[in-house]
């Protein structure tokens, strides 16, 4: 059994949903947390690397929350619930 590929149009829509959820989560955070996520990192081999573990935990929690919200929207959108 082979899996069908997701059309590029749908992949683009999914990426936009994830990005919107990420922006919503970060914009609703406390200012000091927002500053940690947006300013306190280095990019190493294409990845955001935070200088200490607590900053990384803040970013991970934000990414987890954004992912949960986006997954819910994507599921509802592409399973026909809101079509």
pLDDT, residue 79, reads: 82
Q: 25-41: b or e for each residue (b if 16 or more CB lie within 10 Å)?
A: bbeebeeebbebbeeeb
pLDDT, residue 7, reads: 83
Tokens of 13: 């829509």
Query: Confidence class of residue 3 from pLDDT cuts 50, 70 and 90?
Result: low
Q: Global pTM?
A: 0.82
Which residue has tokens 């990426």? 15
Q: Identify whether the C-beta of residue 58 lies closer than 8 Å to the C-beta of residue 37.
A: yes
For 25-83, how does the pLDDT look when each residue is reduced to its tens digit (9 = 90+)? Answer: 999 999 999 999 999 899 999 988 999 999 999 999 999 999 999 999 999 888 876 55
Segments making up each domain of the chain, as ranges: 8-78
Q: Residue 1: pLDDT above 60? A: no
């Amino acid at each position: 059994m082979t899996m069908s590929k997701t059309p590029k149009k749908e992949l683009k829509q999914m990426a936009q949903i994830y990005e919107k959820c990420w922006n919503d989560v970060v914009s609703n955070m406390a200012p000091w947390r927002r500053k940690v996520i947006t300013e306190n990192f280095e990019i190493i081999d294409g990845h955001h690397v935070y200088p200490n573990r607590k900053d990384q935990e803040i970013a991970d929690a934000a990414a987890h929350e954004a992912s949960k919200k986006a997954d819910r929207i994507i599921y509802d959108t592409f399973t026909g619930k809101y079509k």
